[in-house]
Structure 1
Amino acid sequence: MIRQPIICVMGHVDHGKTTLLDKIRSTAIVAKEAGGITQHIGASEVPIEVIKKICSEMQNFSAESIKIPGLLFIDTPGHEAFTNLRRRGGSVADLAILVVDITKGFEPQTVEAIRILREYKTPFIVAANKIDMITGWINSKSKSLQTAMKQQNSQVIETLNKRVYEIVGKLGELGFSSDLYSNVTDFRQEISIVPVSAKTGEGVAELLMLATGLSQRFLEMKLNIEANGRGRGSILEKKEDRGLGFVIDVILYEGTLHVNDTIAFATSEGKVETTKIKALLKPKPLSEIRDSNSKFNYLDKVSAASGVRIGANNLDYAMPGSPVIQVVDDSYAKEISSEIGSVFATSKVGVILKADSIGSIEAISKLLDEQGVSISKKGIGNVSKRDVMDAFAMNAINPMDSIILAFNVGVDKDAEDAVFASSIKIIKSEIIYKLVDDCVATREGMKLNRAKAIEERITLPFQIEVLPHACFRASHPAIFGVRVVAGRVKLGAYAMSDEGVPVGKIRGIQNEKTPMTMAKANDEVAISMDEPTFGRQVKEGQMLYSKLSLEDIKMLQGEMAYLINDEEKELVKKIVGMGGGHKK
């Protein structure tokens, strides 16, 4: 059988995600939301009969050719539902609708959503919302954009086209080819932009037609499932129900689940638990799974694709984003552990990541990996004192890894105290891409500061020749003229003979009585040293070399190699050959 495609609605706060779904569902969910912003995760089924009715006035809509039973919409605040709709190799979502306020354009969570969709290789349609806010727009009372456009004047149409192509430009900057849906010729290669008004409903017909058509045309193989096969789903949310205790909201994307079936899932402690289903609650079509007043049907079985609430024992620690698998043999534990283990895989060194769900952990890990940032520890929940201690341990290995990333989680009081007493940085954000960008910027700043500090203390390679007839004082301090044959002489550097015998520390550099902090190749300067006596440890025509420490050599041949040119790199090798390289 062909199941319903699962569609995730994403976008920036207040761009109209829930209002758009509300218009499709004809329910009053939005009015009940705090501040009009989606606060919870939900799933709604829109039967194909409703879609046919909405699209009926469109001339190019062929109702007879539709095979899918409807659309299953996931309504999400930001990224959470999408990243929790996870399965090995990608997302449970078959398609996404990215809602963009046409009057504001791209905002931070818009970019975040696009980055995540690209990472999970999920096709999407752009719903350019709030066309009714365009000055002069006339409400046509129609669900069809085609009908609505016939009533608009040329100035409104020109403004609409301008706003659409601003979105085309922004998508182009992010590497996507896109166009107004009616101009798209290859739906596999181009993103379709559908102007809509979630308030008036104009454009909703085209949006549903496109979602239905694209799902059936390009995703039919993916939508074909074995109706009575093993039930598989993904936990969207865990909550406490007054009558049932802890329940989980699950998107079932494969097979069928029955009351009294045993299911397995992962807990926030990293264990695999099993439980027997006591109740399966499925909202009636066009009602919301999260609406406390919506009337759920108690069912004996539920088949994919569905948003279903499961009541059972031992759900207290069920982890959002975890797979839910019907237990039919002993393979469930290995399968779940393998999938969860891949998400929590870490490196020996790297930053520490704490987040609100496994979906967030996975999405952030993918984006950090793209930026070349390793993660040494991952976990769900608040930043703890143990996390701070672990980050402090990283400081000794690589200071740039002494960072804790906290996504949508708090910091325990004792952890705050530990941070205050250490050099550990905690970066917090509720936007995934901002967390990643802030991490990269912080590490880059730490790298520059570290490089600057090393540059100030590192000894550079030099070779100097003691000039004849240029001794100005024999000792305490010895002051004499030298020519820099190669390299650079820094104030405070130590010199040695060509046999590796220490000569002394350069305490002063002057050029015609003008103090200098550094002399470069071919400079002739006077230097002062406390330790040697001219004529004994230092003689005319003698070659002196920089006395490099083991740390200097390691740095100059490693991460600080950019400080020296090719000639100086050869000089380092020469100094090492003389027996240079001592512990500081």
Structure 2
Amino acid sequence: MTKIRIYELAKELNIPTKDLMDKILELKIPANSHMSTIDEEEAELIKEIIEEESDNKVKDKIFEDSPEVHKNDKIKNKEKEIKESKKVKKEEAEEKEVKEVKEVKEEKTIQIYDNIIIKDFAEKMEVSPSQVITKLIGLGVMANLNQPIDINSAVIVGKEFGFNVESMKESEEKMDEERLDFEDSPEDLQWRPPVVTVMGHVDHGKTSLLDVIRKTHVTKQEAGGITQHIGASTVTINKKKIVFLDTPGHEAFTAMRARGAQITDIAVLVVAADDGVMPQTIEAINHAKAAGIPIIVAINKIDKPSANIERIKQELVEQGLVPEDWGGDTICVPVSALKKKGINDLLEMILLVAEMQELKANPDRKAVGAIIEGELDKGKGPLATVLVQKGTLKVGDVVVAGSAYGRVRAMFDDVGKRVKKATPSIPVVILGLSEVPEAGEHLYVVDDEKKARLYSEKKKDKFREIQLNANQKVSLDDLFEKIQMGEVKELNVVIKADVKGSIEAVKQSLTKLSVDEVRLNVIHDGVGGITDSDVMLASASNAILIGFNVRPTLSAIDLAKREKVDLRTYRVIYDAIEDIKSAINGMLEPTIKEEVIGRSEIRAVFKVSGVGNIAGIYVLQGKITRNCKVRLIRNDVVIFEGDVSSLKRFKDDVKEISFGYEGGLGLENFNDIKEGDIVESYILKEIRKE
């Protein structure tokens, strides 16, 4: 008996695949997804039902169009219009009256967050900072113009200058954003192009695949090559557009998610058919899963003799991605970027998944978008690449993006051509902002520049408030307190270790620690050192980052400090489990804290008779001291931890060697040192419980 796929039947009937799936489920015909097959008899039955429904709709339309119905409708509509007109006029009059009263009342009112810098406070009141400092000294508060004061002090000082100082809570900022980014009525929504991010392991063909897609499917009007620096490109297939982000790495993808901009609709995971699922592939899968977006797998390089598609599918199953032809819901498309095979199939599948997701937006409203990237051009000033998410962005619109604001003077599409407007999902470069906005910031269209400036000032105040306040990310130290307050329901953990066995052991142990109040969730694990990518994933997912017998890179340590990620490293698995268990129960009492004071590189090894091996070191960062503890790191894995036996500069014993200097180092009872090894020096500090 002949069978037909559901999405092919939807094409034949010229109806959305999702509507057809709903009808099939209503008829209780067994089908898992749009890729499922049904019998020819079932297909004929569905065709008859849909045709019958279509005929009924036509009859209803004829009835609605009859003169009698129209006449009654016109009378009812006219009565409704008169009532609504009276109601609107009354509301407008009341609103105007309230607004006038409010303006008079708020004439001398200043809104601030819990803290404010003295210099900013003086600017808001239009007085000199020295006057504010003088008043503060009178209150017994000693501070300079760059120091913050709390709201209580600000209220007292404000009264002295005739201002009423009020606290501006975060909820008010949310209300501002809700007014700018409101929910649209379902009837106003229209189909929008999907935004796709291409991810995968290095050398698996991500760039080659994107290049083939662009060259093959760029429309005639857009011919002339893609401008690479814009950050996104648009292609057209079957008269429908797809937007590909040109910053495809999962680091960039997660960095934007960490700043709250969820702009990607679909992730295309590129896996080489001759290579298989690699560590970076697994990382990309975990990043996409953490973002909660559908994954389409493009199995690339199928033209190679060593290609094995079935082996790739087996490896994908091990990572929780079960292909559709194996009974799962992950679409796998074999492609060859080199031979240009399967490209159309991949694009059709992207459109199909987009249709199933019902990606819609209202183009007839004030625009809301996300900043993909920003740069400062010497000739043009601040430039920002914007991906419009709702509404239509037009030249002349007043926009605000974080602390940046301005009027859109010009817009360019992905081929560098000037455009006057951009609809949902379309990427454009805009000119006219006051400063370069941060990638991941939301962009809103506002009524006038006054409102834009006010919103931008609020954002600046909020940013300073965050900097002044304590760390707001989840850490083991404040976990119990946050659980008690109901802020944490799920504790995300990222694990890195030297061997796979350690990871499996700790994952099983952590799963057992889940309690009613909080569930532990390992969102990513991997073998090897802790990298920037791990820190960004932990930041985006508000996770704790744990390492076993591995160390973070220098840039990862700096990034963890900036992103306020709780990064902890252990030599013994049970120490980590005990720490997390104690944190959940509110019994964590950290008494000893490790402080890294420097890193050095071994550049030569000298054998000294009667002493052993001595390392010739160069201090890369910080310093190394005679009394500090050290750990020897090889390929980001710790191979020794202990004390310094000797530290010399030339022939002299020294107490310390600082950054940029060379010296000789002996390790206590350890001789297995090699050129290229890293020596991390640290001290242990006792922290008193407050």
TM-score by length of 1: 0.48
Determine which structure has greater relative contact order: mean sequence separation of CA pairs < 8 Å that are 6+ residues apart, divided by chain length: 1
TM-score by length of 2: 0.41
